[in-house]
Amino acid sequence: MNIIICGCGKIGAALIDALAAEGHNVTALDNDPAVLTEMTNVHDVIGVCGNGADCETLEETGVRQAELFVAVTGSDELNMLACFLAKRMGALHTIARIRNPEYNDSSLDFMKRELGLSMAINPELLAARELFDVLRMPSAAKIETFSGRTFEIAELRLKDDSVLDGLTLRDLRNTYKTQVLVCTVQRGEDVFIPSGDFVLKSGDRIGITSSPAEIVKFMRQIGLLQKKARSVMLLGGSRTAYYLAKMLVSSGADVKIIERDMAVAQLFSDEIPGASVVLGDGAQQELLLEEGIRDTDAFVSLTGMDEENILISIYASSQNVPKVISKINRDELMPMAEKLGLDTFISPRRIIADVLVQYARALENSRGSQVETMYKLMDGCVEALEFRVTQEAAGLTGVELRSMKRKPQILIAGIIRGRRTIVPGGEDVIHVGDRVIVLAGAGHRLGDLSDILA
């Protein structure tokens, strides 16, 4: 596909990296020549220097032949205008990053319709939703949801004294009668999509799939279930903190936000009256202790500096806070943070990259199924995709899974049929209208459900 990315900041760079790796023809548009030079040196992309709201510049990018135009500059208004012009000039699909909370209300649908936007993306809002899901089930390091939240994949770390140590997956299913499936395992640098003979070990990071209720039941059985976080301390008055605080307050949680900037703190106090806002520097241990960090259920560090988030999160862990989460945008810092004892991170860049890759694949395929959702799991080594089966597909529908010839490192992890969630066994079959969850190991690029067949 011919794709134009307007704005090559942190989000734009992540999108260029992900979409170029998918094999798309990507053009990078930015008004900073140094940034473009870096993009074109690192990636096999075309660079165009100029203003995304200038028609001549857009013409230079080849906008008339663009199948997807994505505007992710630092200005919501410029993103909307650039998408409006790109659509009028011939781009088939347009996506704008719109971050301002004032735009992300009832007026958003009106703007999308009037501007001809295919989608509006808000990295901070998506990150807040992911954080909210983890705080709802703090035992998990990460939770991904599918099909209207009726099906989930939860990642969790097995403790040193885990009751699952030494169990094969076949024995696990016989011992614990819950309907969950261990779909992926990370052990050190290695990632597996395991078979029934796979033996679990303490320290493994595992991904389990099922309905939310079954996952909770399983975690309770193995002694990993933590209570839902009722008191949450947020560090940093970022947009992500704004959206997350609103969600938490609406759910009845006690929320405390620590922010060093007077104007930002006042804004939070005015906009979220149900939260407690503290003016101060969260890097000061005395302040955190005074504000009750030792008594909080969860601590979420959301400042604009990855290093600060990591260091303060390590301190929160040392104070025995049950759940600690850090926002980390730089991929290279995540393994380091994990070695320092942190296991739950949030990256708005990664979330948006997943959304755009999913959208691009959905545009490409038309062979009887459609990509509905896509996530990267286990540090990006495994993809989890949700497909909607829209018509009869040879070799897929009406065939027992045990008889289906699939490529290696491919697992059908779930089937959603109406309101029914199925953790599939060998005797299950896929029907038209089903939503099917597939896990694919490294080396697989699935754009259509039929791509799983050998």
Q: Is the predicted pLDDT of residue 365 greater than 80, yes or no?
A: no
Domain count, the chain: 4
Mean pLDDT of 415-421: 89
* Assigned domain for 303 exists: yes
Q: Is the predicted pLDDT of residue 359 greater than 90, yes or no?
A: no
pLDDT 10s digits, 244-264: 999 999 999 999 999 999 999
Mean pLDDT of 314-322: 95
Sequence-distant (≥ 6) Cβ neighbours of residue 188 within 8 angstroms: none
pLDDT at residue 339, as a whole number: 85
Is residue 240 within 8 Å of 221, Cβ to Cβ?
Answer: no
Mean of the per-residue pLDDT values of the chain: 90
pLDDT at residue 438, as a whole number: 94
Domain limit, last residue, from 62, 94, 121: 121
pLDDT at residue 160, as a whole number: 84
pLDDT at residue 189, as a whole number: 84
CB under 8 Å, gap of 24 or more: what pairs does 158-162 form? 158/200, 158/201, 158/202, 158/203, 158/204, 158/205, 158/206, 159/202, 159/224, 160/202, 160/203, 161/202, 162/200, 162/202, 162/222
pLDDT 10s digits, 98-125: 988 888 777 788 888 889 999 999 999 9
Three-state SS at 236: coil
Q: Is the predicted pLDDT of residue 380 greater than 90, yes or no?
A: no
pLDDT at residue 188, as a whole number: 86
pLDDT 10s digits, 10-42: 999 999 999 998 899 999 999 999 999 999 999
* Assigned domain for 355 exists: no
Same domain assignment for residues 301 and 236: yes
Q: Range of 407's domain?
A: 364-452
Same domain assignment for residues 370 and 342: no
* Assigned domain for 359 exists: no
Three-state SS at 331: helix
pLDDT at residue 183, as a whole number: 92
Same domain assignment for residues 388 and 405: yes
Q: How confident is the model at residue 393 (pLDDT cuts 50, 70, 90)?
A: low
Domain limit, last residue, from 121, 152, 186: 121
CATH for 295:
3.40.50.720
Mean pLDDT of 328-350: 88
DSSP designation for 293 = G
Tally Cβ neighbours within 10 Å of residue 161.
8
pLDDT 10s digits, 76-86: 999 999 999 99
Q: Is the predicted pLDDT of residue 87 greater than 90, yes or no?
A: yes
Q: How confident is the model at residue 368 (pLDDT cuts 50, 70, 90)?
A: low
Mean pLDDT of 312-327: 95
pLDDT at residue 107, as a whole number: 77
Domain limit, last residue, from 75, 96, 121: 121
Tally Cβ neighbours within 10 Å of residue 351.
22
pLDDT 10s digits, 155-205: 998 888 889 999 999 888 888 877 899 999 999 889 999 988 999 999 899
* Assigned domain for 403 exists: yes
Same domain assignment for residues 115 and 166: no
pLDDT 10s digits, 60-69: 999 999 999 9
The Cα 279–Cα 238 span in angstroms is: 14
